[in-house]
Amino acid sequence: VKDKINSLGPNEKFISFEFFPPKTDSGFRNLLARLNRMSALNPLFVTVTWGAGGSTSEKSLDLAGTFQNDLGLTTVLHLTCTNTNKEIIDNALKKAKENGIRNILALRGDPPRAEEYWTPNCDFNAAIDLVKYIKQEYGDYFCIGVAGYPEGHVDGSDGALQDPKKDIPYLIEKVEAGADFIITQLFYDADKFIKYEKLLSTYPQLKDITLIPGLMPITTYKVFTRASKLSHASIPDDILTKLQSSINDDDAVKSLGVDILTDIISNINTETQGRIRGYHFYSLNLEKAVASILDKSDILRPVIQSSGEANDEGNDAIVSD
Ligand code: FAD
């Protein structure tokens, strides 16, 4: 990922997509059929999520291997390190290497659902431990990404306002240990991301690292509110008002969602004076919303070589996850 970003021209932008492994074989087949069209949107790289505690390890490794080897896409495997054991991590890194995967998004992982706060319970307590472990075991073989939080991470905030400044020392630790890029938690308040980018630029250790904003297209009102709640993303009043006017009209919500995301990208590009090189889409394995945003965005349209026919039929993703 680092090499591919470095090989872009000075004003060239990139996009990347997150996928999760479908639960069923038919979901897997549907996703593969859709992937040819999504590849035509020309992502610089794709990422594959990892179920908490390694719950999807086999499916995640399968999907990542398919992306990398069968589809020739530069693939980033997410890997979490808590509430799991070292064997699962060792096996994942070994298999990733065997499959030619060169990129890992090193994460701590979320607490199990029943627990309000996470407590350390194995060799790895935080993402930094995984970054260090990968470097120790594999040197520079893997390019490493880590997570960033424009609105702050929720840990220790007692549900009150989060402060991104609190995470900075730990983010610096992750970068100094060898992280090459940061992908952010999803957000809908562009100002929060713009402030975060400015905040990072005031730290010498963080000012040059590639910061990639994480964007989740809005497909239905229900998915939007669920995802925002789970990720603790605040919703600006104007966005909420717009969407609430069409709660039960999925087509209207989708179309408003395309406008909202296009505006967020445009705002970020203007306010950061083009310093943001790439935009990461939490695709939810769906093609149409991302394709529509790319088509509408003056900044990202040139990135697409040819978008093909967008169609999300037959996807089991949203329904089951
Ligand atoms: P860390 O960097 O370890 O930070 C977690 C919290 O601990 C922060 O508040 C930080 O400030 C604090 N902290 C860190 N080190 C210390 C220390 N030494 N002392 C005190 N406090 C410390 N989860 C999954 O299960 N699967 C996925 O595939 C997945 N993909 C993700 C992709 C992205 C882009 C993002 C942003 C998140 C993803 N997550 C995923 C969620 C992630 O696992 C959670 O947000 C998790 O709670 C934190 O992970 P982290 O890597 O940011 O942790």
Atom of ligand 1 nearest to the CA of 60: 28
pLDDT digits (tens, 9 = 90+) for 285-300: 999 999 999 999 999 9
Q: Please state the rounded mean pLDDT for residues 139-167.
A: 88
* pLDDT for 72 beyond 70: yes
pLDDT of residue 84: 85
Amino acid at 217: P
> Does position 314 have pLDDT exceeding 50, yes or no?
no
CA of 164 to the centre of ligand 1 (A): 13
Compute, in angstroms, the gap from residue 106 CA to the centroid of ligand 1: 9
Residue 128 Cα to ligand 1 middle (Å): 9
Burial of 298 (0-12, 13-18, 19+ CB in 10 A): exposed
Q: Kindly state the average pLDDT of the residues 104-131.
A: 78
What's the CA gap between 227 and 16, in Å, rounded?
19
Is a pLDDT exceeding 50 seen at residue 306? Answer: no
**Contact, 186 vs 151, CB < 8 A?**
no
**Interface predicted TM-score (ipTM):** 0.99
Active site residues: 18
Residue 307 has pLDDT above 90, yes or no: no
pLDDT averaged over every residue in the chain: 90
Pocket of ligand 1 (CB under 6 A): 49-50, 52, 78, 80, 105, 107-110, 126-128, 147, 153, 155, 166-167, 170, 183, 185, 214
Nearest protein CA to atom 32 of ligand 1, as residue? 147
Q: What is the pTM of this model?
A: 0.94
Q: What is the pLDDT confidence band of residue 36, given thresholds at 50, 70 and 90?
A: confident
| Over residues 202-231, mean pLDDT | 96
What b-and-e string marks burial along 217-228, b requiring 16 or more CB atoms within 10 Å of the CB?
bbbbbebbeebb
